[in-house]
Structure 1
Amino acid sequence: MTAEIGAEDLGIDVTRGEAELFKWFVASFLFGKRIQRDIAAEAYRVLVERNRLDTPHKLRDCGQRRLVQLLGQARYVRYDESTAARLLKLGDKLLTEYDGRLGRLRELGETHDGVEKRLLAFEGVGPKTVEIFLREAARGWF
C-alpha cells in the first residue's frame, strides 16, 4: 500500500490559516475519490497552484466547463463531470452556509463529530474525504 499524502507534500501548511485550510479541503476532496494518488495531486496542482482556484469564490465562479477542462489536463477524467459539478457546489455551500470559511464550519460543528457531520453534508464528500481532511485539520482544531 502506498503512503498517505499529506498537506505538507503539497506545500500546504494548515496551521497558517483559512486560505491554507481551504486548499487542503480541495486536495482532500480530490484524494477522497477512487483515483490514483498522483493524478489527484496533479489535479490539485492544476486547479489551485496553476489556475489559482484557491478561494471558495474563485472555485464557485470558475464554471463547470472550465473545471472539466482543468481536470482533464491533470488526467482526472474518470469523474471529471461529477467532480466539477461537486466542486462548484462545494464552493457555493461554503460561501452560503459558512461565510466562505472552514473555520466557521468548525465553530458551528463544535465537536469532532459535529464537524464530521457538517463536512459529510457537502455533496461528494464521503467518509474518506472527511478522514483525509481531518487528519491534518484536526491538529489545529481539536
Structure 2
Amino acid sequence: MGVNVTAHALGIDLVHGGESALFKWLLASFLMGKRIRAQVAVQTWHVIVDKHGRDTPRKLAGCTHRELVQMLGEGGYARYDESTSTRLQTLASRLLAEYGGTVSGMREASTDRRDFEQRLQSFDGIGPKTAEIFMREAAQVLF
C-alpha cells in the first residue's frame, strides 16, 4: 500500500521541518493507511495540503465536513470520503484539544515509544498499519 511512498517523496523534511512536517506526514500516513491505492492517497494529500493549504491541525479542524468530503473527492478518495472526512476532523480537533495541536505534544505526553503508538492508535481511523507507516519515518525524529 503506502510502502513506496516516503516523506521525502512528498517533499516533507522530517529532520528539519519541525512540527509542520510531522503533521503533514501524519496526514499522509493517515490517508495511506486505508485500503486505497497509494497514488490516490498521495494525490488526495496534495489536494488537501498543497492546493487547499489545510496543512495544520487548526486549518484542518476549521474545515466543514462538506469541504473535506469535496477535497477527498477531488483527490479521487471517493470510497470512504464521508467517514474519512469525519475522522480527519476528529484527528485535528483532538490534537488541538489534548496535545496543543502538535504531534510533539503527544510525544511529550508519552512515557515511551510504545505509549506514543498507543496514543496514536487511540485516534479513530488510525490502526496498526497507519501507525506503522507514520513511525517508519517519524520515529527517528521523535525518539
| TM-score (norm. length: structure 1) | 0.97
- Aligned-partner residue type, residue 132 of structure 1: I
- Aligned positions of 1:70-85 closer than 5 A: 70-85=71-86
2:95 alignment counterpart: 94
- Aligned positions of 1:95-114 closer than 5 A: 95-114=96-115
What percent of counterpart residues are identical?
A: 49
2:14 alignment counterpart: 14
CA contact (8 A) 2:3 2:133 kept: no
Distance 1:118 1:95 in 2: 14
- Aligned-partner residue type, residue 116 of structure 1: E
Instruction: Confirm whether residue 27 of structure 1 aligns to residue 31 of structure 2.
Output: no
CA RMSD of aligned residues (A): 1.2
1:135 alignment counterpart: 136
2:118 alignment counterpart: 117
Count residues with an aligned counterpart.
142
Distance 2:142 2:134 in 1: 12
- Aligned-partner residue type, residue 104 of structure 1: G
CA contact (8 A) 2:32 2:130 kept: yes
Cα deviation, residue 107, structure 1: 1.1
| TM-score (norm. length: structure 2) | 0.96
1:53-94: per-residue Cα shift (whole Å, max 9, x none)?
011010001111000011111110110000000000000000
Distance 1:65 1:49 in 2: 19
In 2 relative to 1, CA 3–101 (structure 1 residues): closer, same or farther, beyond 3 Å?
Answer: closer
